[in-house]
Structure 1
Amino acid sequence: MIGITRAGEVVTLELRRHDKRNALDTDMCTRLRDAVEQAVVDDARAVVITGEGSSFCAGADLSGEVYAAQFPDALLAMLRSIDSAPVPVIAAVNGPAIGAGCQLALACDLRVVGDYGRFAIPVAKLGLAVDNWTVKRLVSLAGGGPARSVLLGAESIGAERAFEVGLANRIGDLAAAQEWAHTIAGLAPLTLRHLKLVLNDDGTLAPPNDLQQAAFVAAWSSQDKLEARAARAEKRAPRFEGR
């Protein structure tokens, strides 16, 4: 489910779940986390993450896996492994990065976005919630206005707009991302490690306060979450009641 290739000091990891548009489940999160950590053990100087086919990652597998008790922990562990890896990680966003797929792109240090790449976190349509890290990292990278549009307005950001606001560092394909990764791999690794530690100290690791944590738990345990799941299965619009 994770394709692993190496060229020199650059390791490329490819999400390979084409039939699900590379949607994440617990096993895939664990495999990607392990692959990133193994790349570091094997002395890779840069890592590129991309998706097979026309999607980067369609998010969590809404067929049921996202509602499993173990999935949120597996997802967060994967995101943390990328965020804390001592080498630069580049997302080659070849297509839609939705929900957990957007979180994956946010965890990477740099984003090279293809013409058909776009970002969205539609939790407000699903009755779910994302953690403080996700909200704060999106604000840190894209700015408060675009982040509010994505989260509160459930809107998406395309490649050009993502580049304008800084969410995308470059516009390009996988080859462009790999070429940049090779250039970065030739830079001073201890300097890059220090810069990554400072850049990622953007308030995202601060724990939620009591009100925030209670609201997060309330969303995940709500009837609205169940209604969104039922509506998806019945192919209709959900009817949220705030409970």
Structure 2
Amino acid sequence: MEPQLLHTVTGQVATVVIRHPAKRNAMTAAMWGSLPPLLETLAADPGVRVLVLTGEGGTFCAGADISTLRGSPLEAQRLAVAAEEALAAFPGPTLAAVRGHCVGGGAQLAAACDLRFAEEGARFGVTPAKLGIVYPSSATRRLVSLVGPATAKYLLFSGELIGTERALRTGLVDEVLPAGELNGRVAEFTGILASRSSLTQAAAKEFANGRTDRDAHWEERARESGDTSEGVAAFLERRTPRFS
């Protein structure tokens, strides 16, 4: 099968699937390069509220396809960083649904998502020290913001893999599901996300990512949208809100 990124849109949820079964869904240069324009297309779709990133079969992503690093490792890293930043900048909530190995570039992509749900038995690792690669500063800062400096150093210095128990304890993942229950929980939770105020989510995502100078902008957006009035009215009337 040709290594590629697949995507579907069901209701208000877009799902991007990493497919490279011959190499445990490792990302080729072409796959890294195709992610930003795909995300741009999905972000422009007004019907898409939530994005799920996952891997085909029993593996999320085993990292970068090492064979693509032999020729121009710096170019491969540039493509990976561009893909990571495009994923982090997606306007709606993003969720990585992880099975099996989530290693190297796979962990880089998962960390760029807003949330990470994993199936029991998944394994996580940040492995540039095994290849003599300098991990990008953007990815390092993002990892530190998730797990703290001590765990980030453990992962980066050693390249060792950790299981779901430690990943959950350190904040690398948000929920761990028993085998067979990941898809159902992801469907349930993305439905919850799609039902909430996109205004609240967009502002919270911007603030959480470090932008702190746009309170006035979001206050104006809130007044224009009417979401606050609708949310309060729906609560008092005991009905589901119809956010704009």
TM-score range, shorter chain: 0.7 to 0.9
Q: 1:86 aligns to what?
A: 91
Q: 1:166 aligns to what?
A: 171
Q: 2:216 aligns to what?
A: none
Q: 1:16 aligns with which of 16, 19, 31?
A: 19
Shift of the alpha carbon at 1:66? Answer: 6.2
The amino acid of 2:51's aligned partner reads V
Q: 1:60 aligns to what?
A: 64
Q: 1:191 aligns to what?
A: 200
C-alpha RMSD of matched pairs (Å): 1.5
The amino acid of 1:8's aligned partner reads G
Q: 1:108 aligns to what?
A: 113
- TM-score between the two structures when normalised by the length of structure 1: 0.79
Structure 1 stretches of at least 4 aligned residues deviating more than 6 Å after TM superposition: none
Q: 2:75 aligns to what?
A: 70
Shift of the alpha carbon at 1:22? Answer: 0.8
Answer whether contact 1:94 1:174 (CA < 8 A) is retained.
Answer: no
Q: 2:102 aligns with which of 97, 106, 115?
A: 97
Q: 1:201 aligns to what?
A: 210
Question: What is the number of residues matched between the two proteins?
Answer: 202
Alignment of 1:175-190 (within 5 A): 175-190=184-199
Alignment of 1:27-42 (within 5 A): 27-42=30-45
Answer whether contact 1:93 1:113 (CA < 8 A) is retained.
Answer: yes
Q: 1:25 aligns with which of 28, 32, 37?
A: 28
Partner-residue secondary structure (3-state), 1:138: helix
Shift of the alpha carbon at 1:178? Answer: 2.8
Seq. identity, %: 35
Per-residue Cα deviation, 1:159-216 (whole angstroms, up to 9, x for no partner): 11111111111113233223211210111111111111111229xxxxxxxxxxxxxx
Q: 1:120 aligns to what?
A: 125
Shift of the alpha carbon at 1:30? Answer: 2.1
Shift of the alpha carbon at 1:153? Answer: 2.1
- TM-score between the two structures when normalised by the length of structure 2: 0.78
Separation in 1 of the partners of 2:92 and 2:165? 27
Separation in 2 of the partners of 1:70 and 1:135? 18
Q: Does 1:153 align with 2:158?
A: yes
Higher relative contact order (CA 8 A, sep 6+): 1
Per-residue Cα deviation, 1:72-124 (whole angstroms, up to 9, x for no partner): 22211111111111111100011211111100001000000111222111111
Answer whether contact 1:25 1:65 (CA < 8 A) is retained.
Answer: no
Structure 2, unpaired ranges of 5+: 212-244
Separation in 1 of the partners of 2:107 and 2:143? 9
Separation in 2 of the partners of 1:122 and 1:75? 14
